[in-house]
Structures are given as C-alpha cells and as structure tokens.
Structure 1
C-alpha cells in the first residue's frame, strides 16, 4: 500500500489544527484574481485573516480531520479555485473585510461584462497612427485635434453579459479603463456549528434594521386591526379607543368634562358655517339689488330718450 508523502501528512495536520483553533472558517473563491493582486490582499489582511491556498484534496482532508461539529457541509464549497480562511473574527466581519479589498482591473479577454463597458468621449494620449484603425474597429468616432486622437462620442464597446474579446480587452488596457472587479469572494463561512452562505452575510446592518422596523410596524398594524392585545400596541389602542369614544359622545350629545371642549369646537365650527352662509346670502342679495337698480335706471333712460325724440318730431 502506497503511503502519502510526509509533507502532505504534516500539512493536513497543521491545517486541521488551524481550523480547530479558529472561531470562523471560510472558503473563498479566488478565480480570476491575479497573483500580485492576491498577494496584495493577503498582506493587507494579515493579522486579521489567515489565507491559505493548497491542493483541494489536501484541503478536504484537513476539513475532514477537524474536530469541529458540522464542518463537513463546508466541504461542498471546495471546488474550482478556492482558498481557506481561518480567523477569530465573526463571519460578517470577514465578508465585509474581503468586500472592501476588492479591486478594479482591466480585462485580459474571456471575462463576462457585469455591466455595459463604456469608452468616454475626450482626448486620448495617442498621436495619429495605427490606433485610429483600432478605435474605428471598436465603433468609436474619432478626430485629430492638436496632434492627438480625440474620441468624439461616448460609446458602449461591450454590452452587459457579453464575453470580452481579446481585441476589446487590449483596447481597454491601452485606454486604462478598468471595468472588471476582482477580489476574494466568500462562498461560505462556518462559525459555532453553523454554515453561513455569502447571500446571508451580504445583508448590511442598515438594510437589516430597516427590514426589522418595517416588519414591526406591519405587525403592530395587524395586531391593532385584529384587536390582539400585546404590550406594544396598548398605547395605540388607548388612543384609538379615545377617538372612538369622543366621536360617539359628539353624535349622542353627551357632555362631560372630557368632551366639553369638543362640543365648544363643534359649536364654533357650526357658527362659522352659519356666518359664512349669511354673508354669502347678503352678498347675493346685494348683487340682485344693484342689478335691479341698474335695470330700472336703464329703462328710465330709454323713456327719456323716447320723449326727447317725440318732442323733436312732434
């Protein structure tokens, strides 16, 4: 029977101990991340996160050898290009740290555009020459101004969801356009016997607080409408009961110390309404009187004119 190399056994034992001593164990996706970018992120988080890249078979054995209960489910995420993260930070903190370390880079070709890739209008650093042809192939409108190639109109060179060709990637590199976001993508994290997936860990505290507040408000409304008595809605029920009682008191004409102000307000409103009605009636009556006087005056004038004409032609 062939025995595994001693260095493999030692590595598996070492990683298994790291896993057992860590509060949080995570699997992160490193696909598409260039080595210099990976090393940069690794240096930045050193001291907080321990990131280890190793053969998948050895990583699976280390997870299997760990004594943590329920860790086996994390093995499902060990596929493709991944790394192991061990830390004493909470899973949410791990995810937040990794998200902050994401970087933008120019494509190399073969990537899928997550959004439309746009080349803005403006002057480039290129003099007239072969680049004009390359710009034209990409569908860019160009002109020569002050010895430089100028892009006259903003244009989409790769649409969302399309695969970026090597030609487009080369053009974007030359223009120093970096539309590709790369970093360590957390697939899942283990902590205290529970596996947390990336979608759960991506929920921000702000959105969580907002969701809780909205749910609480809806629950209060439902409890109030159903008359389900719980401490949280007692103040609202008291206010609602008082409003209903005051309304019934007004309709029934029941006057007491608590409702007398309402009756006074009601009397004032009714008096104001009557006063407005009287004012409107007076105004209407005044207009009718003036109209009658005007018509009478007009008739008198007509009679005077007729009398004058009669005297002339007697």
Structure 2
C-alpha cells in the first residue's frame, strides 16, 4: 500500500504584502484607475507620480495578485479580468474618476521615435539650419527626399518637408535623422483601461467627456425642466418667482385693455390713449390734410417696410409666453448657487 503525500506551496511574502496593501487602499479610497504601463518609460511614470503626489497614490501591481485581493472585497472581479492584463498600475484617489482620468491623460512627455513605431501625427522636417556638418548625413537626407543645401560646411534644410504621414511606420533612417535634429515628436501618455468607483466599473473610453458639450447639455436640460415646471406650476421658489411676475404682467395687460383705472394702470392707460389718438390723427391726416394736424404721413412703400418690421415684434409677442433668457439664466444660477 502506497501513501501519497502532498506538499503545500508557500505563498511568497511579497505577494501577501501586495494583496494586503491593495485591500487597504481600496477600502480607504473607494475610487481607483487601472492604467496600462505597456511601453511607458520609467521617467514618464516618475513624472506622473510626482505630479499626482498630493492627490493620488500609485501602485504597480501583478494582475493575478490584484484580482485575488479585490475578490476579498466582493468587487466584480469577472468584469475586471479583461482589464487586469499585462503591466498595470492602480491609481487611488478621493477625486471623481472622470476628473482623475482627465488629469492623467493630459500629463504628457516627449521622446524620440524608434524604428518600427507608428507615427501618431504627420511629421515635418522644418526648414533651416540643422547644425549638422556636411558628410555622410547628406545621403540620409537624400534617401528621405529632404531637399538640402550646404553653407559653411553646415547642412541646411531647403524647405519644410513632410517625411511621414499619420499611421506610417518609422524607418531607421527617419528615426536617426529625428534624433540627430533633436525632434522629440512622440507623445507619451498613460492609457487608462478602466475606473472603479465603489462596485461600478467604467471602461476607459467612457471616461473621456467633452466639458463644453456636457455643460451645454446640462444647461439645456435645466431650461427644458424649468419650462415644464412653469407650465405645471411646481411650487419651487425659482419657479414661483417667475410665475408670479408673469401673472402680474398678464393681469396688468388685461386691466389696461379693459380700461380699468387704478394707481398701477393709469400710466399704461395714458400711454395707450396717446398711442390710439396718434393712430386716429394719422388716419385723419391721410384723408383730410387741409385740417393741418401736423402729422406726417409716410409713403405707402415705407408703410410696407414698417409692416415687415412689425412682424418680428408680433412673433416675439407670441413667444413671450415662454420664460425669457434672463429668467432662465437666473434660475440656472440659483440651481448651482
């Protein structure tokens, strides 16, 4: 009879320490980003770490160890598995994940292109003094079809020259020339795979928002909500203030049209009476100029222009039932303090 013995494998202490720290940081902050470090130079990571020192904690982790640790916190590990691959770093912060992602993606360093890499934008060699002595380098310029001239044994580029378009593969000759000219054209920035806020997982592409469009959408949503609130008389201070003012204006208009005299309507009635009298005088002057009322009657053509000009006023009158821009702006400001 044979006896089979099994030997339990001891977990390395560094893995246990990493898992413990991930659990502790996740409990403390609640929000973290998963950042892809593939191809990111150490100097860029150091720059980002220095910039975020006051607002975030950054930890380079092993994907499997991190997932095991996060499973202890009942997070959606299955959903996170697709993001926890390759070289990754977790960035913890109390900031909103959208704001944190924007900060990180705007931190950029520049480096030289290496042969075989893909151009991120069009590459142009600028006209002017290269600072390079004439010699074998001229043949490299020739192969890249960059027009040159030599002055005082120094190579000059004759004119701005497009040497690669966005998406082109960088050749060894082009990589060499860019380095010799000191053109660090490759932008290095961290790619965010996803964000975790509590138990919510937000894909990296959903973290990019257009602030201007977002603010305009929010403003339009408020305007639509305010108009609806005015129509159904929602008992809110901002709404009631506008509704009361509109009701007062409509009441004054109605009383003036009815000819009812009060201390508040007398001024409006007098203005209306003067306007009506003027219109009557204009009509009388048309048919009885010999009365010498002194009212200037404009030519018919001008009258037509007046009518055309009056149309927008009538349209404006019809639209005046809706909340004005001033009222909406006042309400919008009140909403956000």
TM-score of the superposed pair, with normalisation by structure 2: 0.65
CA deviation profile, 1:169-218 (whole Å, cap 9, x unmatched): 33322222223221322222323222233345444777755543332123
Q: Which residue of 2 aligns with 1:122?
A: 128
1:111 to 1:257, Cα distance in 2 relative to 1, 3 A = farther
In structure 1, what is the equivalent of residue 227 of structure 2? Answer: 221
- Structure 1 length as normaliser, TM-score? 0.69
Gaps of 5+ in 2: 1-5, 286-293, 300-337
User: How big is each residue's C-alpha offset from its partner over 1:84-138, in whole Å with a ceiling of 9 and x where there is no partner?
Assistant: 3253533536435533543122211333333333333332212333333433443
Partner of 2:39: 32
1:77, CA displacement in angstroms? 0.5
Residue 323 of structure 2: aligned partner: none
Instruction: Work out whether 1:176 is the aligned partner of 2:182.
Output: yes
Deviations 1:35-77 (A, max 9, x none): 44335544665684232143x444444444x334334432220
Alpha carbons 1:20, 1:68 under 8 Å: kept: no
Distance in 2, Cα, partners of 1:77 & 1:53:
13
Q: Residue 241 of structure 1 is aligned with which of 236, 242, 247?
A: 247
Aligned length: 276
Partner residue of 1:20? 23
Write out aligned runs for 1:290-309 (5 A).
none
Matched with 1:78 is 84
- Structure 1 position 90 matched with structure 2 position 95: yes
Distance 2:59 2:270 in 1: 76
The CA distance in 2 between the partners of 1:11 and 1:146, in whole Å, is 62
In structure 1, runs of 5+ residues without a counterpart are 284-314
Which position in structure 2 is the counterpart of 1:259? 265
Q: Deviations over 1:218-273 (max 9, x none)?
A: 3223444xx12222422333333344444444544444333332233344556677
Distance 2:272 2:151 in 1: 79
Deviation for aligned residue 1:4: 4.8
Distance between the aligned counterparts of 2:298 and 2:113, measured in 1?
84
Q: Give the C-alpha shift of residue 5 in structure 1.
A: 5.9
Distance 1:201-1:282 versus aligned 2 partners, 3 A rule: closer
Output the CA distance in 2 between the equivalents of 1:101 and 1:214: 32
Change (3 A) 1:249 1:29: same
Alignment of 1:92-107 (within 5 A): 92=97, 94-107=100-113
Distance 2:169 2:159 in 1: 23
Q: Tell me the distance in 2 between the aligned counterparts of 1:163 and 1:43.
A: 33
Higher relative contact order (CA 8 A, sep 6+): 1
Paired residue for 1:51?
Answer: 59
Provide the C-alpha distance between the structure 2 equivalents of 1:209 and 1:194, rounded to a whole number of angstroms.
23
Look at both structures and tell me which one has the larger radius of gyration over its CA atoms.
1
Q: Which has the higher helix share?
A: 1
When the two chains are superposed, the root-mean-square deviation of aligned CA atoms in Å is 3.7
For residues 37 and 128 of structure 2, the distance between their equivalents in structure 1, rounded to whole angstroms, comes to: 35
Contact 2:37/2:89 (8 A) holds in 1? no
CA distance in 2, matches of 1:45, 1:84: 14
Q: Is the 8 A contact 2:144 2:163 kept in 1?
A: yes
